[in-house]
Amino acid sequence: MRHTRIAAALLALTASLLASIAALGHGNEDHGKDTKVQATAAGGAPPASNANEAPMRLPDGDLFVPKAVQRQLGIRTVRVEGGELSVGTELNGRVIAQPGAGGRVQATQAGSVVPAGKAFPQPGQRVRRGQRLADLLPIVGSLELAGQRAQQAELAALVTLAERRVARLEQLEGSVPAKDIESARIELQALQQRRVAIGAAVGVAQPLRAPVDGVVSAVHVVAGEVVDARALLFEIVDPTRLAVEALAYDNGLGARIVDAEALAGERRIPLQLIGAGLQLREQALPLQFRVLGGDVPLAIGQPVKVFARLSTTAQGMAVPRAALWRSAAGGSQVWVHERAERFSPRRVRAQPLDARSVLVGEPLQPGDRVVVEGAALLAQIR
């Protein structure tokens, strides 16, 4: 029995020594990550992750992103569905005033501009058609002014002579023909009108009035400034009647547009096609769209993107524009959420649908979950 107990103790001591040697051989290293990389490289699903694991790009180009990291990056996905969709096109445009909805106030001749009241109208001030905005004092040279005054004096003398002639003829009424009296009266009236017209043109300010209802969008003059003829002084725009002009390089595009919208920053603005021009400008035809929705925060000359939906259709899937990201080679790609922690890149060819969506075909399939938020952040994982 004693020999049996000694043998058992020796066996236990030997097992303890072997366990210690094995622990020292591993050096407290964690080989779980190597196992995970081997599994994912072979195309299999990685083992369950924990919060301490980092995202990584796998040898086949896919991404391994733990759930905790997905929440930190704000990853969001949507399931895409296929179908027959209307194809769209994207155009560069700028905001203009509708024809007849804007106006300009210009100087009709050289002169000095002065306010009609206490000050000029300010940008953003609403004005009415015919409202007096400023006065223009014509510039008259000394020689021209002397000539006008001499002409006034001459007309005054002619009016005096005509008045005396009419008075004499009226005294001889009945002994002179009536036609002579009537002719003298008409001549006197014409001379009086000429004297009034000449007097009104000498040193009298010309009122500058608003041609349309709207809002003053620009003021190009200061009080007392001397301007030349045809100088632009004020610009007036009706903010409720704006338009967008876009250039189309397809001559038949206007006939195929069903509806359109503009994207100004993050704001989507509905548009209605007014018509297409017939004269090329920069090798393209200008298209004009009416801005719908009343008073919108747009400025004349502001560049916008116009997305027009056409009558032609194509088979594919609608994907939000936010899902697209550009690879190093310059192509468009999307991330497909293959499994819980695995994302696969897919190179796609996108066509515009509207301001928020694009049409994508293969290799996407109906039912794929596509990343729509955080796609650019996933592309930075190495």
Q: State the pLDDT at residue 210.
A: 93
| Rounded mean pLDDT, 124-152 | 83
Task: State the DSSP code for 219.
Answer: E
Cβ pair 106, 233 in contact under 8 A:
yes
Of 301, 173, 195, the closest CA to residue 244 belongs to: 301
| Rounded mean pLDDT, 296-305 | 87
> DSSP characters for 120-153?
PPPTT-EE-TT-EEEEEEE---HHHHHHHHHHHH
Q: State the pLDDT at residue 126.
A: 93
Mean pLDDT estimate for the chain: 80
pLDDT at 25 over 50: no
Please report, for the chain, how many H helices and E strands are present, in that order.
Answer: 6, 23
Q: State the pLDDT at residue 20.
A: 42
Q: State the pLDDT at residue 18.
A: 40
With a CB cutoff of 8 Å and minimum separation 6, the contacts of 366 are 80, 81, 82, 317
Q: State the pLDDT at residue 326.
A: 81
Interatomic CA distance for residues 368 and 80, integer angstroms:
6
Note if the bond before 363 is cis, omega within 30 degrees. Answer: yes
Taking only the tens place, the pLDDT of each residue in 278-296 is: 888 888 899 999 999 777 7
With a CB cutoff of 8 Å and minimum separation 6, the contacts of 188 are 159, 162, 163, 165, 166
Q: State the pLDDT at residue 11.
A: 46
Interatomic CA distance for residues 302 and 296, integer angstroms:
13
Residue 15's pLDDT band (cuts 50, 70, 90)? very low
Length of the chain: 382
Q: Residue 78's beta-bridge partner residues?
A: 370
| Rounded mean pLDDT, 135-162 | 81
pLDDT at 320 over 70: yes
Q: State the pLDDT at residue 130.
A: 93
Residue 52's pLDDT band (cuts 50, 70, 90)? low
pLDDT at 65 over 70: yes
pLDDT at 37 over 60: no
40 or 248: which carries more pLDDT confidence?
248
Element (H, E) at 13: helix 2-26
Q: Give the number of other CB atoms < 10 A from CB of residue 107.
A: 22
Residue 21's pLDDT band (cuts 50, 70, 90)? very low
With a CB cutoff of 8 Å and minimum separation 6, the contacts of 67 are 49, 340, 341
148: amino acid identity, one letter? Q
Token digits of residue 159? 């009016």
Taking only the tens place, the pLDDT of each residue in 239-270 is: 888 999 999 988 888 888 988 998 887 788 89
The pTM assigned to this predicted structure is 0.63
Query: CA torsion angle for 68, 74, 79, 84 (degrees, to 10)?
Result: -160
Cβ pair 104, 236 in contact under 8 A:
yes
